Amino acid sequence: QAKEQGRNRWTVFDASMRDAVRERVEIEVALRAAVAQEQLSIAYQPIVDLTDGLGTRTVGAEALVRWEHPVRGWIGPNMFIAVAEDANLISALGAWVLRESVQQLARWRDKGVVDGDFWMSVNVSPRQLGDAAFADRVAAILAQARVPAANLVLEITESVMVEGGEQTERLLLRLRELGVRISVDDFGTGFSALGYLRRHPVTGVKIDRSFVGGLGASIEDEEIVRAVVAMSSALNLAVVAEGVETTAQRDVLAALRVPLAQGWLWGRAVPASTFAAQIRARERVGEPIAVRSD
């Protein structure tokens, strides 16, 4: 009887496995074409200076990749970045995002849409950092676009610091020597002990939105943010709070002296042309404006 049950479980397991594998293969094939045919696009989300308490001034942008599949419609990066990593597509995809977003920054700088301090944040997957040529590629992209290295922030995950070996460490150092800034994304969700922050040449952390969501309601989340701010000022790290959606959350963050923030309260990720129009509008009005698209 037990044997019988076991076999049934296997059948079920098999079928769902097959579906998952089939879907993944399908996405992989389509993604390969999308990368080759440049069906991908980049949306930009504002990062604001919160030291005025409101976040009136946009001081940077995060580049977030978007994929419009001809049949499935918009597919979020949480779904396809993992596929790209497994299928060895992440280097090509990541290089494209980097080049495209740095060139966009160059155009905004040239047109005076943004000032000289404005930075572009770009997500980098652990796999990209395994590529020894990565730092040279970054340097070449910056040189070609004539963008100073300090205006580029690379967002890495905590796992890079924990699992990355000596080679990753050398690569991060090399990037710092170039002047590129390095921020730890989704800070607090991984396994990073504080020691990692000191050992690795990082310049900032982004407080994960799971800690921001409870602000105003959860004392625990508030204490976590307070601790991150204290640690960051001791280690001289830039702190960005992610996923800020309400004025109540913003007010708590401002009271806790979190210097930088990002979230739907100020704007979703939007195409470059929309982004430029929005930062101008926000500076004129001095208040967050409603945005529709992501």
Binding site for ligand C2E (CB under 6 A): 45, 64-65, 76-78, 81, 94, 97, 123-125, 155, 185-186, 209, 243-245, 263-264, 269
CB-neighbour burial class of residue 219 (10 A; exposed 0-12, middle 13-18, buried 19+)? exposed
Tokens at 44, concatenated: 């930009």
**Footprint of Mg ion on 24-63 (CB under 5 A):** none
Output 234 or 289, the one with its CB closest to ligand C2E.
289
Report the residue from 45, 58, 101, 123 that binds Mg ion according to the rule CB under 5 A.
123
Q: Residues touching Mg ion: how many (CB under 5 A)?
A: 5
CA 252 – CA 54 distance, rounded (Å): 11
Least distance in angstroms from the C-beta of 12 to Mg ion: 32
Tokens at 17, concatenated: 């496995």
Q: Which does 76 bind (CB under 5 to 8 A by kind): Mg ion, ligand C2E, none?
A: ligand C2E
CA-closest candidate to residue 260, choices 123, 58, 122: 58
Output 100 or 242, the one with its CB closest to Mg ion.
242
Is residue 185 within the footprint of Mg ion (CB under 5 A)?
A: yes
Least distance in angstroms from the C-beta of 66 to ligand C2E: 7
Q: Which DSSP symbol is given to 53?
A: S
Do residues 100 and 42 lie in contact, with contact meaning Cβ atoms separated by under 8 Å?
A: yes
Across the chain, how many H-helices and E-strands are there? 12, 9
Q: Which does 192 bind (CB under 5 to 8 A by kind): ligand C2E, Mg ion, none?
A: none
CA 25 – CA 30 distance, rounded (Å): 9
CA 140 – CA 134 distance, rounded (Å): 10
Least distance in angstroms from the C-beta of 48 to Mg ion: 15
Report the residue from 100, 186, 221, 222 that binds Mg ion according to the rule CB under 5 A.
186
